[in-house]
Structure 1
Amino acid sequence: MVLGSVPAALFAQDTVRNALPRVVLSEDGKGFQLEDTEQPFYVWGVNYDHDRDGRLIEDYWQDEWPTVEEDFAEMKSLGLNVVRIHLQLAKFMTSASEPNQQNLQKLADLVNLAERTKLYLNVTGLGCYHKQDVPAWYDELSEADRWQVQANFWQAVAATCKDSPAIFCYDLMNEPVLGGGKEPKQWLVGPPLGDKYFVQRLTTDMAGRDNKEVAAAWVKKLTDAIREVDSHTLITVGVIPWAHVWPNAKPVFYSPEASAPLSFVSVHFYPESGKLDKAVEALKIYDIGKPLVIEEFFPLKCSLEEADTFLIEVRPITAGLTSFYWGTTPKEYRQQKSIQGAILADWLDYFQQHAPAKPTR
């Protein structure tokens, strides 16, 4: 049963939609291309995960929609083709089974905007970034009931988005992890980054199961829910590359046991200065024969020059790169006259200068 959707008539007119071809897997399954063409598509995007004040998009899109429109125009001007948005579960589920129709409508508006701007959306879901937004009823659920709510969320979101070619993919969850670690009975893994929890557990009780078994069951549960309403949109899950932390670590979500329902690989990489070779070798572990997208990247721990060296080295095995944009242009960063502003401005300039060629269609 589809738990909620927005009528297709609320999207852009067909003439606008038809001008934007879908992104699909390439014929060899190792990259992307525009549908009904042989034109390759290399993801060159940003995480539009919060604004300059740290607010999530659902915090301001009802009252400050012109800001969202302005940001999309700015992202387009930077030469981007994909925008990764992050949706909090609590903003889209008013209860375990009832979607929030008001925010689904706003999501439809965002998809409409993406179509008009000719930007594709990576729709990342199930966020619990602001701990204060997570309802008590959700945290009190058993693992099975929590997964069912997550499936309900994805059915509602996919039913809203499925008819638009602007949807590049669904990312099931940002940086899911399994059991263990500190406070293993807590769903959110701390400490937070600023005021946000970006890492979330799938279970608080492994009950004798191994990591791949739990990951495979969760991926199947959610991808099955999506496929009930959307048979074509690409699906992925953005993961922490533990091989970058422990050289002998093997992929869990991208293991043979768990990865079959996933269309492509998404990993989050922040290379360290003086350790670029380690980062390159860690990334190669995720080259499993599917498109490989670096879904988060920023020269946080290395120089711009080292970041450039890393990206040149891994370009042959990657199908895309996604960095960050927080509603501030390079010019605005430079007006801040701060070291941080200058670093961010230089990176956005680099990102714009190295954008892949624009599609000819």
Structure 2
Amino acid sequence: MRLHLIALMLTCHLGLIAIAHGQTLRRVQIAENGQDFVLAGTDQDFFVWGVNYDHDGDSRLIEDYWDAEWSTVEEDFAEIKSLGANVVRVHLQLGKFMSTADQPNEANLLKLVQLVKLAERSGLYLNLTGLGCYHKADIPAWYDELPLEQRWQVQANFWKAIAHACRDQLAVFCYDLMNEPVVSGGGPSDEWLVGDSLGGKYFVQRIARAGDLKGRSNQEIAAAWGQKLTEAIRSEDSQTLITVGVIPWAHVWPNAKPLFYSEPVSKHLDFASVHFYPVAGEVDKAITALKVYDIGKPLVIEEFFPLKCSLEEAKDFIDKARPVSDGLTSFYWGKTIEENQSSGEISGAIVAKWLKIYRELASGQTP
């Protein structure tokens, strides 16, 4: 049974106080009850209050500017911290970290370690989400030409390299295998990327194509994929938590059953991560869908933004989600509240209002 909201708020706040006073970050791990996060070596619960740092205000991915504009990353992390966040979700592109099928890009691995050290100094944890193919121009041609088994091997090589670089870093909260994977559905069966781009980015990709199934069920494919990648990580890092952020199809089709959080697949994962954008007038429907992913492991709402609902409904969703969730991750796109307010754009005004609410909710963790 999950602890009461107030207890979660208090213990998270105490953990942040310890960080602010210069104490070393403690590794986040699964509690003995299997349903909550705790800070290693303590009885303090850890509640994720994070942001996705998936692109900046000009829609650039972090690897596009972290070499030439490192000061921008430092400033953004300081701003994220000031908003009350404790986790930053960073999206890593496969094409930026794999020079060839079996040779990682050492320069970007070193830059990643630099990012981890920045997070530690900032009192922030990182959710490292991998295998991104968000920009088609960044996807190596040789990668998309590979058959399934060889493609999966490249993905395993990616995670082995990331885990090797980050294996002793306490600031790494988790490895997220892939953003919103699907097996074979949705669009032309010969394309690895699914659907149309969103803001020039492809956030959904297949782990297999129709011709790769060969009589195997979606569940069997997902389980084999998850096992291969988690084994690659565990060969280098035995402690950092592993998850995969998914589209909650139960929010679209109420009778849909989880694929990646079915027992054969989720046994390879330490906690559940789902992405929610509640629709106006349907907050309770979203909460019902959220509960489908309460499978006896910690449950994190890994993406959340009032994209389709009012700010009041967003707050209502967060309040109702707290009893069954262990954290929430919204977004920060490289602009402060003040910069969004002065942009003169409607979208900027909305983001500014939301960031204020996000900050207020974080400050509510003060006992």
Q: Report the TM-score when normalising by structure 2.
A: 0.92
Kindly state the Cα deviation for residue 180 of structure 1 after the two structures are TM-superposed: 2.6
Match of 2:109 in 1: 104
Decide whether the 8 Å contact of 1:20 with 1:118 is kept in 2.
yes
Distance 1:152 1:359, change over 3 A: farther
Kindly state the Cα deviation for residue 17 of structure 1 after the two structures are TM-superposed: 9.2
1:329 aligns with 2:336: yes
Match of 1:52 in 2: 57
Aligned residue for 2:264, secondary structure, equals coil
Match of 1:130 in 2: 135
Q: How does 1:1-361 map to 2 (within 5 A)?
A: 19-204=24-209, 205=211, 206-355=213-362
Distance 1:295 1:124, change over 3 A: same
Kindly state the Cα deviation for residue 295 of structure 1 after the two structures are TM-superposed: 0.2
Question: 2: CA distance between counterparts of 1:181 and 1:237?
Answer: 19
Structure 1: give runs of 5+ residues left out of the alignment: 1-15
Question: 2: CA distance between counterparts of 1:22 and 1:355?
Answer: 21
Task: Read off the aligned partner of 2:145 and give its amino acid letter.
Answer: E
Runs of 4+ in 1 over 3 A off after TM superposition: 356-360
**1:187-212 deviation digits (Å, cap 9, x = unpaired):** 00120001100000001122221111
Decide whether the 8 Å contact of 1:45 with 1:80 is kept in 2.
yes
Decide whether the 8 Å contact of 1:268 with 1:295 is kept in 2.
yes
Decide whether the 8 Å contact of 1:44 with 1:356 is kept in 2.
no
Aligned residue for 2:199, secondary structure, equals coil
86-95 or 32-41, larger mean C-alpha shift: 32-41
Decide whether the 8 Å contact of 2:186 with 2:195 is kept in 1.
no
Distance 1:95 1:41, change over 3 A: same
Match of 2:14 in 1: none
Question: 1: CA distance between counterparts of 2:57 and 2:30?
Answer: 34
Aligned residue for 1:150, secondary structure, equals helix
Decide whether the 8 Å contact of 2:226 with 2:265 is kept in 1.
yes
Decide whether the 8 Å contact of 1:42 with 1:356 is kept in 2.
no
Task: Read off the aligned partner of 1:352 and give its amino acid letter.
Answer: R
Question: 2: CA distance between counterparts of 1:243 and 1:74?
Answer: 34
Decide whether the 8 Å contact of 1:280 with 1:310 is kept in 2.
yes
Kindly state the Cα deviation for residue 358 of structure 1 after the two structures are TM-superposed: 6.7
Decide whether the 8 Å contact of 1:30 with 1:290 is kept in 2.
yes
Q: Report the TM-score when normalising by structure 1.
A: 0.93
**1:166-189 deviation digits (Å, cap 9, x = unpaired):** 000000000000113210110001
Kindly state the Cα deviation for residue 338 of structure 1 after the two structures are TM-superposed: 2.7
Question: 2: CA distance between counterparts of 1:359 and 1:20?
Answer: 19
200-209 or 121-130, larger mean C-alpha shift: 200-209
Q: Percentage identity across aligned positions?
A: 64
304-313 or 167-176, larger mean C-alpha shift: 304-313
